[in-house]
Amino acid sequence: MREPAPIGPKVLAGKSLNILLSHAHLDHTAGLTFLLEILSNHPLEQIQIWGESDKLAAVREHLFHPLIFPAPLDACWNPIDNAAEFVIGETKISWRHQDHPGGSAAYRLEWPNGKRLVYSTDTTGDSSRECVAWSRHADLLMHECYFRNEASDWAQKTGHRWTDRVAEIATLNTPKKLLLTHVNPLEHASDPVQSDLIRERIDAEILIAEDGQEIDF
Ligand SMILES: [Zn+2]
Ligand SMILES: [Zn+2]
């Protein structure tokens, strides 16, 4: 019987890894514990984790508490609280606070060739002129879309957006490509988030995120 291929090289390239943490809720951080297995067959020279200091502290104190997980993660934890902008390699990164229980951060990444990526998840959204000026015209907007319109009440209670609100934000932001992320993993419909309702309103390529996906933009 053939041995299954190790997972490390499939999910990681290069010798270093930078993780931009939106917040510390478990659905965004539990995956950090899986890194240990991946690192065992694909060692890295450096792991850098960026995020607000209270979120980093919560992950280190609770997720990596010996009662919850057996080994600490050997990473460099970088608080971003005092840096509206910072640089990783040639990538310029800025971030904004978002409204969400406990707070979350949206990130904007810009490369020297002018390409721009905005990552925004876990928030009811900010349609202010200031926020739209910060996030608009992205080549790739990675945006949560967990709740269908029928569940908009539940979305607002838990600090999330729903399909029509995503369409509204996307219409204001005019991205070239929109990747709908943070979709419900238990939803197996081919269009779990009514993305056609968003397509009707914006002239952008719209994709629904899948595990292991690589995106050109
Ligand atoms: Zn959350
Ligand atoms: Zn979440």
pLDDT tens digits along 91-141: 999 999 999 999 999 999 999 999 999 999 999 989 999 999 999 999 999
Tens digits of per-residue pLDDT, 24-75?
A: 999 999 999 999 988 888 889 999 999 999 999 999 999 999 999 999 999 9
4: DSSP letter? P
- Taking the CA of 98 as reference, the closest ligand is 1
Q: What is the pTM of this model?
A: 0.93
110: DSSP letter? E
120 alpha carbon – ligand 1 mean position (Å): 11
112 alpha carbon – ligand 1 mean position (Å): 31
| Tokens coding 112 | 């020297």
Q: Which of 42-56, 76-90, 153-167, 181-195 has the lowest mean pLDDT?
A: 181-195
∠ Cα 66 67 73 (to 5°): 35
- Taking the CA of 146 as reference, the closest ligand is 2
5 alpha carbon – ligand 1 mean position (Å): 33
Amino acid 4: pLDDT: 67
- What are the sequence ranges of the domains in the chain? 1-82, 83-217
Of 3.60.15.10, 1.20.950.20, 3.40.50.300, 3.30.160.100, the CATH number of 83-217 is: 3.60.15.10
Mean pLDDT of all residues in 157-179: 96
HSE at residue 147, side-chain half, CA atoms within 13 A, is 20
107 alpha carbon – ligand 2 mean position (Å): 15
Ion ligand 1: residues, CB within 5 A, are 25, 122
| Tokens coding 87 | 């640089």
117 alpha carbon – ligand 2 mean position (Å): 19
Mean pLDDT of all residues in 72-99: 96
131 alpha carbon – ligand 2 mean position (Å): 20
Amino acid 2: pLDDT: 66
122 alpha carbon – ligand 2 mean position (Å): 5
| Tokens coding 210 | 């899948």
Q: DSSP letters along 129-181, please?
A: HHHHHHHTT-SEEEEE--B-GGGHHHHHHTT--BHHHHHHHHHHH--SEEEEE
